[in-house]
């Protein structure tokens, strides 16, 4: 196995996947999204009926399919990390590629959802619910796009025989799973809660 493993191993056998800097960044992002969701709830409690009526116009099926896209993508990226640890770099590259394709599918469906909603006259300015819906999903899609860039860096790393560092692949995967985690929270409060 040519890959250099920089993952921090400790005496108790516990290891930090990836890189401490990535974890600091990911935990910080989680705090920000948590705060956005609390602010959303603050407005929702003030106008609960209006939020519920507005929520009716979202397609639950689209939200569910997009959730399945990201969960499936995460699965392939998690399998890629395991393949790298086994020294199977070509397999890992393919798995990251498939994970990225599901990320593209997520973004495509999200853009379609925005298009359909705007076609029906819903926009940021419609009311507070749609202001939050469009803003939160747009910030999240920005993170998905950033995540796909990170997956691209991981593929580049895997294709270079002189690199193939396990911790780089782990750090990229940590970010990608965070994107999935945040979506699970957004899906619950925007599409399903009532």
Q: Quick one: 27 or 160, whose CB is closer to other proteins? A: 27
Q: How far is the CB of 158 from other proteins (least distance, A)?
A: 17
Counting every residue written for the chain, the total comes to 194
- Read off φ and ψ for residue 109, nearest 5 degrees: -70, -35
**Cβ contact 95:77 at 8 Å:** yes
In angstroms, what is the C-alpha Rg of the chain? 19
Per-residue interface string for the shown chain with other proteins, residues 2-31, x marking contact by CB under 8 A = --------x-xxxxxx-----x---x--xx
Answer yes or no whether residue 94 interacts with other proteins by CB under 8 A. no
Separate counts of helices (H) and strands (E) for the chain: 6, 2
Q: Quick one: 17 or 152, whose CB is closer to other proteins? A: 17
Per-residue interface string for the shown chain with other proteins, residues 123-162, x marking contact by CB under 8 A = ----------------------------------------
Q: Could you tell me which stretch among 78-86, 106-114, 124-132, 142-150 binds other proteins (CB under 8 A)?
A: 78-86
Answer yes or no whether residue 78 interacts with other proteins by CB under 8 A. yes
Q: What crossing angle do the helices spanning 48-55 and 128-159 adopt, rounded to 10°?
A: 60
Per-residue interface string for the shown chain with other proteins, residues 28-67, x marking contact by CB under 8 A = --xx--x--xx--xx-xx--x---xx-xx---xx--x--x
Looking only at the bridges linking them, the beta strands covering 15-16 and 8-9 are: antiparallel
d(CA 188, CA 194): 10
- CB atoms under 10 Å from CB of 125, counted, come to 8
Q: Quick one: 81 or 117, whose CB is closer to other proteins? A: 81
**Cβ contact 101:70 at 8 Å:** no
**Cβ contact 169:92 at 8 Å:** yes
**Residues lying near other proteins in the complex (CB under 8 A):** 10, 12-17, 23, 27, 30-31, 34, 37-38, 41-42, 44-45, 48, 52-53, 55-56, 60-61, 64, 67-68, 71-72, 74-75, 77-79, 81-82, 170, 173-174, 177-178, 180-181, 184-185, 187-189, 192-194
């Amino acid at each position: 196995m040519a890959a250099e493993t920089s993952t921090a191993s400790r005496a108790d056998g516990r290891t930090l996947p990836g890189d401490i800097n990535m974890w600091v960044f990911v935990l910080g992002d989680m705090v920000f999204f948590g705060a956005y969701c609390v602010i959303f709830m603050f407005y929702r409690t003030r106008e609960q009926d209006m939020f519920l009526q507005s929520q009716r116009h979202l397609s639950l099926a689209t939200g569910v399919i997009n959730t399945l896209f990201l969960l499936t993508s995460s699965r392939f990226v998690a399998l890629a990390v395991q393949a790298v640890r086994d020294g199977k770099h070509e397999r890992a590259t393919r798995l990251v590629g498939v994970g990225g394709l599901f990320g593209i599918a997520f973004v495509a469906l999200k853009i379609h959802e925005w298009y359909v909603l705007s076609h029906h006259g819903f926009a940021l300015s419609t009311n507070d619910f749609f202001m939050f819906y469009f803003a939160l999903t747009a910030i999240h899609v920005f993170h998905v796009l950033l995540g796909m860039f990170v997956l691209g860096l991981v593929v580049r790393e895997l294709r270079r025989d002189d690199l193939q560092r396990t911790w780089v692949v782990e750090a990229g995967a940590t970010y990608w799973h965070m994107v999935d985690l945040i979506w699970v929270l957004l899906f619950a409060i925007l599409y399903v809660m009532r």
